[in-house]
C-alpha cells in the first residue's frame, strides 16, 4: 500500500491507476484492451475530506482531491471500481498528515 504525506492545509490530488504500465510502476496492465472503469466509489477515514473525484486517463484511473486531516494522523483512502467487463477491484492508499 502506498503512503503519501500532505500538509493539513493542502488540497491535493491522488490517482488510483489500474493501467499500471502507463505510470511505470507495474509489470502488467490490470485492465484488458478496451476495458474501462465505468463506476467507482471513494471512501476515506473520518477526518480527511474528499473534495471531488472523477474517472480520468481515458477511463483507466480515478483521481481524487483530498483536503483537511489532523497533523500526526494517518488516514486510509480506498477506491473500488467496476469495469466495462463487469470486473471489480479495490485499491487503498495511506495519507500521513504532517506540517510541511
Q: Which residues of 12-27 are buried (b: 16+ CB within 10 A; e: fewer)?
A: eebebbbbeeeeeeee
CATH 1.10.3470 assigned to domain 2-97? The reply is no
Residue-range domain boundaries for the chain = 2-97
Separation between Cα atoms, residue 42 and residue 15, nearest integer Å:
12
Does 30 have pLDDT greater than 70? yes
Q: Which three cell numbers stand for residue 37?
A: 472503469
pTM of the predicted structure, to 2 decimals: 0.89
Q: Is the pLDDT of residue 26 over 60?
A: no
pLDDT tens string 75-88: 999 999 999 999 99
Mean pLDDT, residues 32-47? 94
Amino acid at each position: 500500500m502506498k503512503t503519501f504525506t500532505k500538509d493539513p492545509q493542502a488540497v491535493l490530488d491522488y490517482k488510483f491507476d489500474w493501467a499500471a504500465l502507463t505510470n511505470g510502476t507495474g509489470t502488467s496492465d490490470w485492465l484488458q484492451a478496451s476495458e474501462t472503469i465505468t463506476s467507482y466509489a471513494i471512501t476515506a477515514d473520518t477526518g480527511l475530506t474528499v473534495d471531488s473525484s472523477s474517472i480520468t486517463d481515458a477511463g483507466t484511473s480515478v483521481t481524487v482531491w483530498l483536503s483537511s486531516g489532523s497533523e500526526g494522523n494517518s488516514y486510509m483512502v480506498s477506491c473500488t471500481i467496476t469495469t466495462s467487463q463487469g470486473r471489480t477491484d479495490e485499491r487503498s492508499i495511506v495519507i500521513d498528515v504532517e506540517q510541511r
